[in-house]
Amino acid sequence: MQYRRLGKTEMNVSIIGFGASPLGNVFEDCDEKVGIESVHCAIDQGINFFDVAPFYGITLAETRLGKALVGKRKDIILATKCGRYGLKDFDFSYDRIMKSVDESLKRLKTDYIDLFQLHDIEFGSKEQVLNEALPAIQKIKESGKARFIGITGLPVNYLAEIARNIEIDTVLSWAHFNLLADEINSELVPLSKEKGFGLLNAAPLVQRILSDAPIPSWHNAPTQVQAIQPALINICKKYGVRLSDVAIRFAIDNPDIATTIVGMCDSSTVKKNVSVLDFSIPDGLLDEIEVIVAPIKNNMWFEGMPENNISRK
């Protein structure tokens, strides 16, 4: 395993992070025993960054991860979130954030979180995020319940706008650095270097589009983006490789991103993902993928409040 420093923090995180949302049955049912074994397998494989949230499985993922980490908490860097509690259940108020951390600590069976993040800030009003949620997580950091704090979301321009005007330890962007999108490079990468915050990349498989697994029915990507999957699978088969391996290798090769978070809930997937560290993308494949992807490149979807999704291209 390889590790990178997470911004100005003293934490060195594995370049592949364990995304715990599948522990909450987000994609399909995950047997609890199998899920717990996958966490232990990941630690044995050198993965030390684990990312979860109350939203994933409506607290199920946090609960299962907490069980898995009994006796192993000191071996990992633990990140969770607050502010999003259901598909349409958002609350970025000061009091709810202060309550949320205690709920997460109880489920995760720990007395501190390494990284406590505001979850999908584009769904909250800018005023409440800045004037209530941010002071709340800053207070939580001061209390010692969280060592570091960050923000997460989908629209990269909005994440950059908020991060530019606050002091934060990390920014987590999802679905914006992968084989289908590179918008993280436009503002967030240079801003992270300027301000020193750590940059996290999630969903390098774009919620299964960049894999040979079935795309979930709830996926929000435009139809033409989802429809690209078979062509990408076939071109990878021509080179004798798996699309998911190419996608993960491409993502972790970005030196400006501390860790790339991949969803996992069984040991075989953990080992397959870690094996990508010894995988090289065949010469010429990325060029062919670029041609296939060109018509839908950076054609991401909308989430959150309209005023938080204004592009500055």
Closest C-alpha among 68, 58, 51 to residue 25: 58
In a domain? residue 60: yes
Residue 73: what residue type? Answer: R
pLDDT tier for residue 300 given thresholds of 50, 70 and 90: confident
Dihedral of the CA atoms 220, 14, 152, 281 (nearest 10)? -40
In which element (H, E) is residue 40 found? Answer: helix 32-44
Give dist(CA 227, CA 51) in Å, integer: 29
pLDDT for residue 312 is more than 70: no
Average pLDDT, the chain: 96
In a domain? residue 225: yes
Whole-structure pTM value: 0.95
What percentage of the chain has pLDDT greater than the value 70?
A: 99
Closest C-alpha among 258, 295, 312, 305 to residue 121: 305
Adjacent-strand bridge partners of 136: none
Number of H helices, E strands in the chain: 12, 10
Contacts of 27 (CB under 8 A, 6+ apart): 21, 208, 213, 216, 263
- pLDDT at residue number 311: 59
Q: Radius of gyration (Cα) for the chain, nearest Å?
A: 18
Give dist(CA 101, CA 276) in Å, integer: 34
In a domain? residue 210: yes
Select which of 3, 56, 85, 239 is catalytic.
56
Give dist(CA 124, CA 79) in Å, integer: 21
In a domain? residue 285: yes
Instruction: Count how many domains the chain has.
Output: 1
CATH number at residue 61: 3.20.20.100
In which element (H, E) is residue 288 found? Answer: helix 285-293
pLDDT for residue 310 is more than 90: no
- pLDDT at residue number 313: 45
Contacts of 68 (CB under 8 A, 6+ apart): 35, 36, 39, 40
- Domain containing 34 equals 3-308
Give dist(CA 284, CA 268) in Å, integer: 29
Phi, psi for residue 17 in degrees, rounded to 5:
-105, 155
Instruction: Read off the pLDDT of residues 211-253 as tens digits, 9 standing for 90 and up.
Output: 999 999 989 999 999 999 999 999 999 999 999 999 999 999 9
In a domain? residue 11: yes
Give dist(CA 80, CA 119) in Å, integer: 9
Adjacent-strand bridge partners of 198: 170
Mean pLDDT of 294-302: 92
Mean pLDDT of 263-288: 96
Instruction: Read off the pLDDT of residues 118-127 as tens digits, 9 standing for 90 and up.
Output: 999 999 999 9
pLDDT for residue 196 is more than 60: yes
Give dist(CA 289, CA 135) in Å, integer: 44
For residue 112, indicate whether it is catalytic.
no
Mean pLDDT of 98-107: 98
In a domain? residue 313: no
pLDDT for residue 267 is more than 90: yes
Task: List Cα–Cα distances, 210 to 120, 193, 229, 234, 244, in angstroms.
Answer: 22, 28, 6, 12, 6
Contact 141, 82 (CB under 8 A): no
In a domain? residue 206: yes
Give dist(CA 295, CA 272) in Å, integer: 30
In which element (H, E) is residue 42 found? Answer: helix 32-44
Give dist(CA 65, CA 51) in Å, integer: 10
